[in-house]
Structure 1
Amino acid sequence: MKTASCSTIKEGPFREVLICVVEGRSKKTVRAFFDLLGSERSRALTHVSADGAEWIADMVAQRAPDAALCLDPFHVVKWVGDALDTVRRQVWNDARRAGMKALASQLKDSRYALWKKPEDLTDRQRAKLSPIQSANKPLYRAYLLKEQLRQVFGPGGAERVHLLDAWLAWASRSKLHPFIQLARTIRTRRHDIANALTHQLTNARVESMNTKIRLLIRRAYGFRSVEALRAIILLCLAGYARPLPGRT
């Protein structure tokens, strides 16, 4: 069964309302949301939070040109995690080809220690990072770049755009090809990331809605059709008040 894409709108300062559930995940599904919303209300949107898909950005630019598109920080941090893992695999392959079995094994076992936040590391994982810091400068530099970008999305607002620019300068001269490429990608979306930092808007509440949808699917042991799934999602999460027989 194909996935169902969901759209929410914020009502007032705290409440999100599910208004659209469409089969698939493509430009067509985003267009269906804007069609449902209508031209006038689409143009009245002030902020949109989304992942890095270009087709989302294209549709927002067409249908809600005055809205500030905020690129969800989680997806940017995922990009930097992927770049870090690419560097780790490169270093691991170089060590393996050179017959450095102990180093290759050490690098392979360090994957989760490199990914995790420093404050969440176990003592064993901290021990795995220590030799990397002293003996593998490129990989440790990649690790620091990952952590620095994560810090860019810490508490704060528009002033963190300066931290983003500093990170881009560092990544561009890092001599690590995956990070140089990532810096180019982020530069193309810098405006959208700056919007997310300035307006402090993320996909967190949408992901919370997705968690509730997954719970509905588990409770029903799956659905035979997208229409059945769509109906139960709208019934439970769209704020509809359905009168029940024998009740007033």
Structure 2
Amino acid sequence: MFFDALGAERAAQITHVSADAADWIADVVTERCPDAIQCADPFHVVAWATEALDVERRRAWNDARAIARTEPKWGRGRPGKNAAPRPGRERARRLKGARYALWKNPEDLTERQSAKLAWIAKTDPRLYRAYLLKESLRHVFSVKGEEGKQALDRWISWAQRCRIPVFVELAARIKRHRVAIDAALDHGLSQGLIESTNTKIRLLTRIAFGFRSPQALIALAMLTLAGHRPTLPGRHNHPQISQ
């Protein structure tokens, strides 16, 4: 539908396309604008690693839950001083709440999340190694260009021998899409801004629940995200408004 509305003449003028690595998108782009360079969106590639990391977190959590099921049960009320310890139950509880500490960028962590990440590094080397793999892949797209491609070579080599099955599979997936990923590193294309805008529009959609027409939501999105500064009544020449 997009390419039909765009028309063949304008589609032929497209030089670069950034998208996730879905085969159906690549097939459509190849058919409708065959001369365009296809770039794998870094936002989605790093999301693959984040998903793999969460698979590993759930594995660690389920292992802890299995241990917890073998531990003695406490009665009602606070446990006594001589109550048997239940490290598996405590570990499962802490891992369940570790998702955001593992997902977030290091510079955005709260003090509590940093402490949780340090606990994981100390108590679960395999899960922490998965976290480092995710962060190292994110670093690839921060340096870009030839340096980024060299960093990606090192990342693939590490992931292939990391002994974490889900990341071994991710390394194979990245190798399959290497041409498009290298193109993204060469040309610096990313959908990060678009994804951020879409997230904010989804929030506005919730705020707009009950609006009688889509035009009201569109106007709210334009006012909030498009840089529109409508002239307020009686303030046409106000110096602060014009700045």
Q: TM-score, normalised by structure 1?
A: 0.72
Q: How has the CA–CA distance of structure 1 residues 186 and 222 changed in structure 2, closer, same or farther, with 3 Å as cutoff?
A: farther
Please state which structure has a larger fraction of its residues in strand. 1
Residue in structure 1 matched with residue 80 of structure 2 by the alignment: none
What 5-or-longer segments of structure 1 have no aligned partner?
Answer: 1-31, 238-248
1:1-248 superposed matches below 5 A: 32-99=1-68, 100-207=88-195, 210=198, 214=202, 217=205, 221=209
- Number of matched residues? 204
Q: 1:218 to 1:35 in 2, by over 3 A?
A: same
Q: Normalising by structure 2, report the TM-score.
A: 0.73
Q: Deviation per CA, 1:85-106, whole angstroms, max 9, x where unpaired?
A: 1001101111211232122222
Q: Is the CA contact (8 Å cut-off) linking 1:217 and 1:223 kept in structure 2? A: no
Quickly say closer, same or farther: Cα 1:223–1:59, change in 2 above 3 A.
farther
Q: In structure 2, do the counterparts of structure 1 residues 198 and 115 end up closer, same or farther at CA, with 3 Å as the change threshold?
A: same
Residues 49, 201 of structure 1: 8 Å contact kept: yes
| Letter in structure 2 aligned against 1:36 | A
Larger radius of gyration: 2
Which segment drifts farther, 44-53 or 76-85? 44-53
CA distance in 2, matches of 1:133, 1:165: 25
Query: RMSD of the TM alignment (CA)?
Result: 2.9
Gaps of 5+ in 2: 69-87, 224-243
Helix, strand or coil for the counterpart of 2:146? Answer: coil
Aligned-pair distance for 1:214? 4.9
1:10 aligned residue: none
